[in-house]
Structure 1
Amino acid sequence: MRQIAIVGSGPAGYYTAEAALKAWGDDVHVDIIDCLPVPYGLIRSGVAPDHQSIKGVSRRYEATSLAENVRFVGNVLVGRDVSVSELRGLYDAVILATGAPNDRKLGLPGEDLANVFGSASFVGWYNGHPNFADLDPALSHDTAVVIGNGNVALDVARILAKARAEFDGSDIVSHALDALHASRINRIVILGRRGPHQIAMTPKELGELGHLERAAPRVDPADLPPEAEDGALEPGQRKSVGHLRAFAALADAERAARPITVEFDFFASPKAIIGTGRVEAIEVERTRLEDNRAVGTGETYTIPAGLVIACIGYQTSPIPEVPFDERGGRFANDEGRIGPGLYCVGWARRGPTGTIGTNRPDGFGVIEKVAEDITEGAGKPGATGLDAIVRERGISVVEFHDWKKIEEAEVANAREGAPREKFVMVEAMIAAAGKG
């Protein structure tokens, strides 16, 4: 029997486990190892809490977890609790599916000021990720600036703009919901270095912005290219730009009826974050397009702001003993191969690109490479060897049936209208699982 360890229980990890089952059936055992006691990675802590339909993909992952030859091994941090070299000694293949949980740095003066956050930490805060539960962003200033022109920036702006009742049915955690309800922010500025034709925002998400209870989107008509040029765009992009045109045409009376403005500031590149101890403003340079690239014009202006959230991308966490591509922010690999018996998949392989579904062909692709390299099992101990190590080191492993106890408690603790109330502390998760 082949022994496979997958490190990371997000979409890439589960699609890879599914591929292993399809490739070898009963002739494989898969351990899915995660540093948290709870599975599903980005689905749990990255997808916007008001996008519950997207989170439904976890039911597919649950079906994989319930296979007899697949095991979820939660609350085990690879690189601390067990080393990569130890795993390579226990398993025929070790596949790193750790995603890209860290924010890319802006590289700007002042980015270390208080109340300046990356999207991984801010999204983790309102999604209840244990690493960011105590983030405590100050929402007392009237203006927030969101840097980026992708869906994550749009998610952050929407969450900041929503009324409390609009979170009904979502699994936003209560501490974030209470803070957002008390927020004094009434202007949210979304900065994009390029123009409307270059945004990475998808039409569905942009369309949501036009239907918020208390917030009106604003686009400067002067930023929009001639409408005739939209014909050269691919259909989805054309639809997105159509939403921007509708925002630009919004009647003044309709805007005036909503107390919050979500303002798209195109051709705007942040140059510095200004403040003493805490952010007070952001300096921005006006840009123009040259060969589809944003080039600074030298014209600068300042936006007073008390909160800045950078949504400019992510990078993988390095793991001891694993070669790392610092420039790419991912593990150094050759189409998923890192070294003998060591692989990577998903964002850990290619960087933070694509959708959740993109990880499925990626998972099947890496298993094809494993099958080429490992024609049969080498009689390695796999799960029994890992169990011996964690037992010796006193680690409370959370398996899938333990996670179901955590899930049951979260559902029982839910406020009215919410699907669950997530535990935001690892200790509380362990206790709910009934582990020591």
Structure 2
Amino acid sequence: MNIRRFEAADMRQALNLIREELGEEAVILETNKTDEGVEVTAAVDFDPAMYIQPENSQSDLVAPAPQDSRLNTEPPVSSYEAIAAAAAAGAAPPAAEPPAGATAVFTPEDESVRCMLEARLSRLIWDDMRSRNPAAANIMRNLTRLGLTPPVVETLMARAGDVRELENSWAGPIRWLKESIPVTAADLVMHGGVFAVAGPTGVGKTTSIAKLAARYALHNNADDIALVSADNYRIGAREQLETFARIINVPVYSVPDAAKLDQVLSGIDKRLVLVDTAGMGQRDERMRDQLVALRESSADISLLLALPANAQTATNQEIIDVFAPANPEAAILTKVDEATSLGGALSALISADLPLAYICDGQRVPEDLHLAVQKLSWIVKLAMDCMKDHAGRIGKDEMAQRFIKVAVNA
């Protein structure tokens, strides 16, 4: 095992030296602040056999004595991928062969120390970045308070380049966010076609279909519209759709099961056909049959994926992943009026590069359906309002853990 110690004016310089000397496979052993800056001790070619003990004894670790006595009490600690580094003078002797019957033992205490040192290193690097580029650190903190995920924040910061001149300005970051949200250029349903609104139960699919139908009827002929109910699982699903259909005087067709979707669609001669798909959880195995029917349909169905703005980020990401095989054309962001944070939903759209077509922010039909391309400034402002009303303070420890890669490269 090659142990090295590096001294540098700041953490960034130390990490750059570490990469040059020891490469990306190094592991952090220790970090210290000095009068001149920082000191980082790390190693490469770490041999887990140095931390072993015989199977019949759990009392003593069997390993050759390291050169630096501090290593007796601080086992090596793995660094994050982007902060692999090393430094120190001298090298430890090669690890001895473990005795017969010995097995590697990593105790909970080892893991605790590893986590503690990684957290300490993360804080040092984040503090170093804050001192060198406070504008970038402040912008990242505010973007995080918006609810944006670390990958999206990192993408926005990379797009921004050098932000030292921005100070605490919000104009730049908000513009980057607005420009990063993918949207459809046109009002999709106004051109006619067959559209299926899909998504897990409770996201507002049926209400969204009613709004889309009413929106079309206001600008075209209601006689050109047909609604199709393919939801045979949720109680009252067809009745709800029929209620909306009576209001705008359009017919409703029923699909007895997913396999009969093509058969029903082939008998409908309308310019715009809106399909209300089955409402079930995104992890429900029956969802697979529905996705197969949509994907293999000969009716050239365009899929609109309903995403609830009030859901957790991971939930919307999972919904997008589940429906990805059906190749959704665009998304409808629902329940915006119920959300306390919009950053998670926007992050899911940005990360998946899924265009946003419509935004729903209430139950009124069709007044609460908006064309996304016309509402980008509004949705970003609403995200800021949610942050001001609901987002709490984010401490430096959380920021350090979230953005260690950005801090290292800043």
TM-score normalised according to structure 1 size? 0.27
Higher strand share: 1
TM-score normalised according to structure 2 size? 0.28
In terms of Rg, which structure is larger? 2
